[in-house]
Structure 1
Amino acid sequence: MAHLDTSTAFGQDALDDNVERSLGLSGTFALWLGANVVVTTVLTGMLLVPALSFVTAMWLVFLGSAIGIVPLVLIGVMGSRTGMTTMVLARAAFGRMGAGVPAWVNLLALIAWSWIQARLAGMSLDYAVNYLTSYSNVALFTVICETLVVAIALRGHLGIERAEKWAAILMLALAVVVLYALGRYYDLPSLLEVAPQGDMTPGGAFDIVIATAFSWIPLAADYNRHCKSNRVAMIGTWSGYVAATMIAMGLGAAVAGLSVAHGMTATYDPTQLLSQFGFGLPAALVIFFSVLTTNVMCVYSATLSYMSARRRSTFWKPALVIGVITVFGSLIPGILDSFQTFLLIIGSVFIPAFALMIVDYYLLGDRHARYTSESLLGEQSALPGINWQAVAAYAIGAVLAYYWNWVAPLSIGASLPVFVLTGALYWVVARASHATRRTATGNRA
Structure 2
Amino acid sequence: MAANVPVSEKEKMSTMTDDYSLSRVPAEGKTPMWKVLMVQIGGFVALSQFMLGAELGYGMPFWDAIIATTLGSTLLEFIAFGLGVAGQREGLSTSLLSKWAGFGTLGSAIVGLTFAISLIGWFGIQNSIFAQGIISLLGGHINFALVATITGLVVTASVLFGFKGLSWTSNISVPAFIIVIGLATYNMLKGHTMTALITMAAPGTALTMSAAVTMVTGNFIIGAIIMPDLNRFNHNAKDVFMVSVVGTLIGELGVNVLGVLMAHAVGSQQIMPIIYQLTGGFGILLVIFSSVKVNDLNLYSATLDFANFFKQVFHWNLNRGMITIVAGVLGTFLSVIGLIDQFSGFLNILGVVFPPIASIMFIDYWVLKRSRKQLDESRAKGELPEKSEVFHPVTIVAWVVGSAVGFFVNWGISSLNVLVVSGLVYFIGMKIFDKQPQETVITETAPEKEEDDA
Q: Contact 1:121/1:291 (CA < 8 Å) preserved in 2?
A: yes
Question: CA separation in 2, counterparts of 1:343 and 1:67?
Answer: 22
Q: Residues 182 and 188 of structure 1 are in contact (CA less than 8 Å); yes or no, is this contact kept in structure 2?
A: no
Query: Displacement, 1:27?
Result: 1.9
Of 125, 128, 132, the residue aligned with 1:119 is 128
The structure 1 residue matched to 2:349, chosen from 345, 354, 358, is 345
Q: Can you list the C-alpha shifts for 1:152-182, whole angstroms capped at 9, x where unaligned?
A: 1001112212322332233222321121122
Alignment check: 8 A CA contact 1:127 1:284 kept:
no
- For the aligned residues, what is the CA RMSD? 3.0
2:417 maps to 417
Gaps of 5+ in 2: 312-316, 441-454
Q: Are residues 1:48 and 2:24 paired?
A: no
1:61 aligns with: 69
User: Do the aligned partners of residues 159 and 330 (structure 1) sit closer, same or farther apart at CA in structure 2, a change above 3 Å counting?
Assistant: same
Q: Could you say which residue in structure 2 is the equivalent of 1:268? A: 270
**Cα gap change, 1:188 to 1:282, in 2 (>3 Å):** farther
Distance 1:372 1:115, change over 3 A: farther
Rate the CA distance shift 1:254–1:415 in 2: closer, same or farther, 3 A: same
| CA offset digits 1:6-27 (Å, max 9, x no partner) | 7548523122114344433322
Q: Structure 2 counterpart of 1:95, which letter?
A: G
Matched, 1:296 2:266: no
Partner of 1:246: 253
Distance 2:206 2:190 in 1: 32
Distance in 1, matches of 2:142 and 2:337, equals 18
Q: 1:267 to 1:235 in 2, by over 3 A?
A: closer
Which one of the candidate residues 169, 180, 198 is aligned to 2:175? 169
2:18 is aligned with 1:12: yes
How far apart, in 1, do the equivalents of 2:147 and 2:280 lie?
18
Distance 1:185 1:401 in 2: 43
Secondary structure of the 1:383 match is strand
Shift of 1:216: 1.4
Q: Secondary structure in 2 aligned to 1:32?
A: helix
SS of equivalent to 1:216: helix
Contact persistence 1:65–1:242 (CA under 8 A) = no
Contact 2:75 2:416 in 1 (8 A): no
* Secondary structure at the counterpart of residue 318 of structure 2: coil
- AA at the equivalent of 2:248: Y
The correspondence for 1:156, drawn from 162, 167, 172, is 162
* 1:198 aligned residue: 205
- Counterpart position of 2:32: 24
* 1:40-439 matches, cutoff 5 A: 40-92=48-100, 93-130=102-139, 136-186=142-192, 189-196=195-202, 197-260=204-267, 266-270=268-272, 272-275=273-276, 279-311=279-311, 312-333=317-338, 335=340, 339=344, 341-342=345-346, 344-371=348-375, 381-404=386-409, 409-410=410-411, 412-435=412-435
Question: Which string of whole-angstrom CA distances, capped at 9 and with x for unpartnered residues, describes residues 57-94 of structure 1?
Answer: 12321332233222122111111000111001111211
Letter in 1 for 2:389: P
Amino acid at match of 2:355: I
Shift of 1:151: 0.7
1:194: how far off? 3.5
| 8 Å contact kept, 2:145–2:337 | no
Change (3 A) 1:79 1:106: same
Distance of aligned partners of 1:32 and 1:18 in 2 relative to their CA distance in 1, 3 Å threshold:
closer
Q: Is the 8 A contact 1:21 1:225 kept in 2?
A: no
Partner of 2:41: 33
**How far apart are residue 50 of structure 1 and its match?**
2.8
Residue of structure 2 equivalent to 1:443: none
Distance 1:316 1:273 in 2: 39
| Cα distance between partner residues in 1 of 2:85 and 2:183 | 35
| In structure 2, distance between residues paired with 1:101 and 1:139 | 32
Deviation at 1:355, TM superposition (A): 0.5
Q: What is the CA–CA distance in structure 1 between the aligned matches of 2:133 and 2:437, rounded to whole Å?
A: 59
Quick one: structure 1 residues 276 and 402, their matched pair in 2 at CA, closer, same or farther if it must change by over 3 Å? closer
Unpaired runs of 5+ residues, structure 1, are: 261-265, 441-445
Q: 1:380 to 1:297 in 2, by over 3 A?
A: closer
For the Cα contact (< 8 Å) 1:50–1:195, is it kept in 2? no
- Counterpart secondary structure, 1:98: helix
Deviations 1:288-329 (A, max 9, x none): 233201111111111111110112111211111001111111
2:450 maps to none
- Alpha-carbon distance between aligned partners in 2 of 1:46 and 1:163, rounded to the nearest angstrom: 25
Deviates more, 1:163-172 or 1:346-355: 163-172
Cα distance change of structure 1 residues 43 and 141 upon mapping to structure 2, 3 Å threshold = same
Matched-pair contact (CA < 8 Å) for 1:35–1:290? no
Distance 1:239 1:170 in 2: 19
Aligned residues: 423
Task: Assess, with a 3 A threshold, how the Cα gap between structure 1 residues 317 and 210 changes in structure 2: closer, same or farther.
Answer: same
| Change in 2 beyond 3 A, CA 1:67/1:25 | farther
Name the amino acid aligned to 2:270.
Answer: Y
User: Alpha carbons of 1:178 and 1:127: their partners in 2 closer, same or farther (altered >3 Å)?
Assistant: farther
- Deviation of 1:221 after TM superposition, in Å, equals 0.9
Residues 276/352 of structure 1: CA separation in 2 closer, same or farther (3 Å cut): closer
Q: In structure 2, what is the Cα distance between the partners aligned to 1:379 and 1:238? A: 29
